[in-house]
Amino acid sequence: MNEIRLHNTLSGKTELFTPQTPGEVKMYTCGPTVYDFAHIGNFRTFIFQDILRRFLKLRGFKLNHVMNLTDVDDRIIANAAAAKIGIREYTEKYAQAFFDDCKTLSVEAPEHWIRATDHIPEMVRLIERLQKKSFTYDGEGSIYYRIAKFPEYGKLSKIDLTGIQSGARVDNDRYEKESARDFALWKAPKEGEHFWETEIGKGRPGWHIECSAMAMKYLGETLDIHTGGIDLAFPHHENEIAQSEGATGKQFSRYWLHAEHLLVEGEKMSKSLGNFYTLRDLFGKGHKPSSLRFALASVPYRRQLNFTFDGLQQAASSIERLRTFSDRLKQGKFPAGSNPAMAGRVAKADNDFDAGLSEDLNTAIALAAIFDFVREANIAMDKGEFKQGEVAAALELLGNFERVFAIIQDDDAAKLKALGFGAAEGEIGDAEVEKLVAERNAARARRDFATSDRVRKELADRGIILEDSRDGGVRWKRK
Ligand SMILES: [Zn+2]
């Protein structure tokens, strides 16, 4: 077993990971703001935290992990008011879509999945604690956090506070570093907006107080790990620290882990560029959940991830290789006895896999450990040098891999069907046939006959007959 080291944004260093209570990890992840469908950039972060929690569990830690749904913030309040419906009614659809998306990508449910609007009293109590310690002041019915009162403000995002005017305020939940100001903990209601009647007045919470109050309710005043996308480091996480540490006088989170941005074909994803994708957009184009999970997990979380359709295609063939190997291993037609060299090779792969993930969750190294092993084991199998004695250990290695990466189990079709994609039972759409035929052609071109046979069989099972023509082309027809 290798020591687990994680990069802590707070110190700017990769540190040995030790939780406060041996064997237990208290972790908080900022969940989605449910005002729209989550996009693949959001899921880059959610896959990262899923790989983290799965790896910690594999290493025997008991997880106490909280993820929130932000179901009240500026955008939700404005959209719900415009639609003249309550905020619960407005957010319900997107909250349910998020749960469905997570299931489809095999993102495990955290121990606590909670909503901001179920925790208004906790937020009010935290604001009262801050009021008693003079961290706040009132302005036109709203309550602001006085950042001058918290000298450590900026320690996470390392922003330069010189020139910040004391007492200048910002009302928006989201703002840039240049506008670091006293921020709103509690906002006075505007005409037509949803509000709560509370001990600190009418209004609604600011976004930042939500996470401080909820994290401390479920995990105590000091967490082990707080995760999120890098764009949350400022102002959101900086403000969470100011609020929590201001109130308790204790460190809020010992490790802060941030996932880098995702680009699409080298460009920033945006609706105006037409390269903005939700999961459903990709599934509609015939891509599989496992390919997307693999593509999002394959780049270490602190590196920018350039999402490309080529990459997604490669992910699909990588998964195919693993699934084919796993089947071959399970069929178990190997010579009796054991081969010490291969036994050593399995042990090395196991260690390399663990070492990769232990070093700040380096998924690229962990994946390379498995794929190198699969390649060598396939060669050994072809030569009859892979013996029955190594099957159990190899299966255990793949089992450990699967507990973290969750892509070998082939349940894509069922997942897509649950989301309403794919043809009716037994039917297959033309686009999907074309895609599978292309996959088979690619496999044949690289002389990967196991994959090409597997795809032919899959098509046959779904009523598609392939005819290889003399010129090397392939035609298909329905039975
Ligand atoms: Zn948060």
Residue 194 CA to residue 116 CA, distance in Å, equals 14
Amino acid in the structure at residue 184: A
How many whole angstroms from 208 Cα to the centroid of ligand 1? 6
User: Ligand 1 centre from 137 Cα, in Å?
Assistant: 23
CA distance 312 to 386: 31
Q: Which of 225, 232, 260 is nearest to 8 (CA)?
A: 225
CA of 219 to the centre of ligand 1 (A): 14
Distance in angstroms (rounded) separating the CA atoms of residues 236 and 50? 21
Instruction: Tell me how far the alpha carbon of residue 15 lies from the centroid of ligand 1, in angstroms.
Output: 23
Type of residue at 298: S
Centre of ligand 1 to C-alpha 101, Å, is: 20
| Residue 472 CB neighbours (<10 A) | 9
Query: Which pLDDT score, from 0 to 100, does residue 267 have?
Result: 94
Ligand 1 mean position, distance from CA 143 (Å): 19
User: What's the pTM?
Assistant: 0.87
Q: Write the CB contacts of 353 (distance below 8 Å, at least 6 apart in sequence).
A: 366, 369, 370, 397, 400, 401
The Å distance, Cα 108 to ligand 1 centre, comes to 19
Provide the pLDDT for residue 463.
81
Residue 183 CA to ligand 1 centre (angstroms): 15
Q: What is the pLDDT of residues 378-432, one digit of tens each?
A: 999 999 999 999 999 999 999 999 999 999 999 999 999 999 886 554 567 777 7
The predicted structure's pLDDT at residue 97: 96
- Residue written as token pair 């035929």: 437
Q: Along the chain (479 residues), what's the average pLDDT of each consecutive run of 10 residues?
A: 97 98 98 94 97 98 97 90 91 96 98 97 98 96 95 93 81 82 94 92 96 98 98 96 98 98 94 90 94 98 97 97 96 92 97 98 98 98 96 98 97 92 65 83 85 87 79 74
For residues 58-80, b (16+ Cβ closer than 10 Å) or e, as one string?
bbebebbbbbbbbbbbbebbeeb
Measured CA distances, 234 to 22, 241, 331, 459 (Å): 31, 11, 52, 50
Q: Compute, in angstroms, the gap from residue 451 CA to the centroid of ligand 1.
A: 44
Residue 394 Cα to ligand 1 middle (Å): 40
Contacts of 395 (CB under 8 A, 6+ apart): 329, 330
Tokens of 2: 């290798």
Nearest Cα neighbor of 439 from 428, 423, 453, 455 is 455
Cα angle, residue 376 at apex, residues 324 and 443 outer, rounded to 5°: 40
pLDDT of residue 436: 86
